[in-house]
């Protein structure tokens, strides 16, 4: 076989591997973005680790000069990190909402507790004989 035939055969194998790696990388980028938005550091780290594997697999398509899977994989992570960071910042800046009706009812229903007068309490110690060695 000539080198051109080998090159075409390898390209027909590597391009689908690269596309599959890009799909894996995009899925992991979405998971990483959601994990970043929710503050789940462990899930984020795992998704990012698998994204690296998908990105490396998408580089296989570059053997046939097909760079689209590599670009899509990288762009998916950038978009997921930016959107995840923005959503996380918005979630942190939103004030925690308390149910107002329950708070008002609890204050009305609760009777004031009687206040006890403080009294002086002395500290009592017991004498324990020392043990000689």
pLDDT value at position 82? 96
pLDDT value at position 119? 75
Please count the other Cβ atoms lying within 10 Å of the Cβ belonging to residue 109.
7
Distance CA 1, CA 51 (A): 36
Q: Say if residues 72 and 26 touch (Cβ distance below 8 Å).
A: yes
pLDDT value at position 4? 81
Distance CA 46, CA 70 (A): 20
Q: What's the residue count for the chain?
A: 133
pLDDT value at position 95? 79
pLDDT per residue, tens digit, the chain (133 aa), is 678 888 888 888 999 999 999 999 999 999 999 999 999 999 999 999 999 999 999 999 998 889 999 999 999 999 999 999 999 999 888 777 766 655 555 555 566 667 777 777 766 666 666 666 5
pLDDT value at position 110? 62
Its pTM stands at 0.67
Q: Say if residues 21 and 55 touch (Cβ distance below 8 Å).
A: yes
pLDDT value at position 108? 54
Q: Where are the domains of the chain?
A: 10-95
Q: Give the rounded distance of the alpha carbon of 6 from its chain centre.
A: 43
What sign results for the dihedral spanned by CA atoms 69, 71, 74, 76? Answer: negative
Which ranges in 94-114 belong to alpha helices (H)?
100-109
Beta-carbon contacts of residue 55 (< 8 Å; ≥ 6 apart): 21, 25, 70, 73, 74, 77
């Amino acid at each position: 076989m000539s080198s051109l035939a080998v090159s075409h055969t390898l390209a027909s194998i590597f391009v689908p591997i690269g596309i599959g790696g890009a799909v894996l990388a995009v899925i992991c980028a979405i998971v990483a973005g959601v994990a970043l938005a929710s503050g789940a550091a462990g899930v984020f780290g795992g998704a990012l680790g698998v994204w690296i594997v998908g990105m490396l697999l998408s580089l296989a398509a570059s053997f046939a000069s097909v760079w689209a899977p590599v670009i899509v994989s990288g762009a998916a992570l950038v978009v997921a990190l930016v959107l995840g960071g923005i959503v996380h910042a918005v979630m942190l800046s939103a004030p925690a909402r308390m149910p107002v009706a329950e708070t008002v009812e609890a204050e009305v229903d609760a009777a004031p507790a009687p206040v006890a007068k403080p009294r002086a309490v002395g500290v009592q110690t017991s004498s324990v004989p020392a043990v000689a060695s």
